Chains A and B, each alone.
Chain A
Amino acid sequence: MKELCPQPPILRRRNNHIPYDIAFNILAKLPVKSVIRFRRVCKSWGSSITTPYFISTHLNHNNNKDCDNGYVIHKPSSPPTPSNSPVCTVAFDHTFDSIYEVRIPFDFSSDCAQIVGSCNGLLCLADFRSLSTGDNDIYLWNPNIRKFKKLPHTCLGKVSFVTLGFAYHSENNDYKVVRISCRSLSTPKIEVYTLSSDSWRRVEISLTANLIFRKNFYSPVPLISGSLYWFAYIKEENCRRVIIMAFDVNIEKFKKLALPDDCFHGRSLHRCLALFKGKLAFIKCGRNEQRDFQFSIWVMREYGVVESWDKLFVVPFQRVAYCIAFTEYGSLLARCVTRVKNQGSKFVLIDTETLHEKNPSIQCTSFVANFIESLVLLDGANVEAY
């Protein structure tokens, strides 16, 4: 299985140099910038580094390396001012303390560009020119290797009320973007883009016309165990019922899942879905039966099993707030609604395990995603460098 490249030439044929397979092991432990630089060492290193096998090995090492420290990447939702070029910031997921910024190297035709998803260090960004109509500009981007790729246009023709999801397809070591277009009174249309084919393909799925997909307001559609999770409403005669639609990225089929039974008590201001330590989390921001405001967080302990919803955390909160992000570690970034005019929103970071609150350096509504350093897209075709 291991792709061994021919031995590189060595200065003198002696046994006292590090053999090639161990050098490969060392390279896999280096930060991305160093790996890229050392492509120049010799031809065989240069070609090994761009193989899918090396990219996966390097990624696995990064995934296992620092269990205590995860990273997030975030982008402000408001348009950049003429003096600030659009950037994303990489930060620690426990504290949201900033580590570094990366400039977005491509332009969007609108100012509403958002982070659709983040898988294995590859980001998907898209602009939603208008909420109701129009194709989106979608980019795949790895800021650590300074490469990006613009996706081709939709194959669905007219699209509206679009929601996007970004996933890693582990069975094929491939990346997919899923677009769902909902037009009222007709069934939702679905198409899937795969990086390996660099094209969109319509997916015929029988869904009822009264099903309306919704996404998290700011968080990416979460990917858990190979499925992307959306909220959807089923429009029945007198009401709307909220359910979860899980899209299996491998077999490309939807599965309906019910929300936790006890989540309907009290009023709900805002809901979102997130990835929490490898499982699906459902966050409800609203008032409990005593009319106190709180965040309630349920986690689906067993994949796909509705009976396994477990109410893990209740975070009481003095103010009404929206959940902007819920990280894999369990940090909840909340935007407090203020009644005082001309006072900007206040952002608070809450550790759901300790209930410790802090004022993070991020103080504007942002799109937030988990992040890791990797070489993904280095071997990509039709990719631009900057």
Chain B
Amino acid sequence: MKFCTVKQYFDDENNNNVTNGIATTVIPLPNKHLKIKANNKEMEQYEQELLRNVMPQELTKLILAANYLNFKEALDFFCRTVANAIQNKSVDYVRKFFGLESDFEPGEEEKLCKEFAWSFEGVDED
């Protein structure tokens, strides 16, 4: 089932997002998973190795590809990786990453800042 989706993905003209690089990352994952499914540590190491040189912005493309291919394990893994990458980042960094804008009323955001001031300690510089 996964392979049918892959073929359709490449045939679909609108999806220029999937570059060869991403195809080589995402597509071998199902086989690798099957081979070392029993050993979580090995899988973790393989996955760390795979993403060591990937920039956070590239992860967005990987997530979109895994989502389109309906590949749940990869999607879950990429989400965990993004979570680890952004957990100490600032609100502005996260907005840029997800392509979001603040839509709060003027006083609302300040209120949140004050109420949870402690959650802004120890945040990475942008």
Contacts and interface: CB of A to CB of B under 8 A. Distances in A.
B32 interface: no
Given A26-B82, A26-B83, A30-B83, A46 B119 contact: no
A33 interface: yes
B99 A12 contact: yes
B98 A25 contact: no
Interface stretch (A3-11, A83-91, A194-202, A324-332): A3-11
A22 B91 contact: no
Nearest to A31: B87
Contacts of A29: 79-80, 83
B118 A38 contact: no
A104 to B, nearest CB: 16
A40 B109 contact: yes
Interface string B83-126: 10011100100110011111110001100110110111001000
Interface in A29-51: 29-31, 33-34, 36-43, 45-46
B100 A40 contact: no
B102 A42 contact: yes
Interface residues of A, number: 33
Given A29-B83, A40-B113, A385-B115, A18 B98 contact: yes
B118 A18 contact: no
24 contacts: A8-B100, A8-B101, A8-B103, A9-B103, A10-B100, A15-B64, A25-B76, A26-B83, A26-B86, A29-B83, A30-B87, A33-B119, A34-B86, A34-B87, A37-B91, A37-B116, A37-B120, A37-B123, A40-B109, A40-B113, A41-B98, A43-B108, A45-B100, A146-B116
Given A16-B61, A34-B88, A10 B75 contact: no
A41 B87 contact: no
B95 A42 contact: yes
Given A9-B100, A30-B87, A37-B120, A16 B17 contact: yes
Nearest to A65: B80
B118 to A, nearest CB: 6
Contacts of A22: 63, 67, 75, 79
A19 interface: yes
Contact of A39 (B17, B76, B95, B116): B116
A130 B46 CA distance: 58
A42 B82 contact: no
Contact of A11 (B99, B113, B116): B99
A36 B91 CA distance: 11
A265 interface: no
Interface of A: 8-12, 14-19, 22-23, 25-27, 29-31, 33-34, 36-43, 45-46, 146, 385
A142 to B, nearest CB: 13
Given A34-B86, A40-B104, A41-B91, 13 more contacts: A9-B100, A9-B101, A17-B99, A18-B64, A26-B79, A34-B87, A34-B88, A37-B91, A37-B120, A38-B91, A40-B113, A42-B103, A385-B116
Contacts of A26: 79, 82-83, 86
A45 B104 CA distance: 11
Contacts of B94: 38, 41
Contacts of A37: 91, 116, 119-120, 123
Given A36-B119, A40-B109, A40-B112, A18 B101 contact: no
Contact of A16 (B64, B86, B104, B115): B64
Contacts of B104: 40, 42-43, 46
Contacts of B63: 18, 22
Contacts of B61: 16
Contacts of B83: 26-27, 29-30
Contacts of B108: 43
Contacts of A36: 116, 119
Interface in B46-85: 60-61, 63-64, 67, 75-76, 79-80, 82-83
A182 B102 CA distance: 56
A30 B83 CA distance: 6
Given A30-B87, A36-B116, A41 B102 contact: yes
A117 B80 CA distance: 31
Nearest to A38: B94
A121 to B, nearest CB: 16
Nearest to B118: A146
Nearest to A24: B79
A42 B101 contact: yes
Nearest to B115: A385
Nearest to A13: B99
Nearest to B120: A37
A22 B75 CA distance: 9
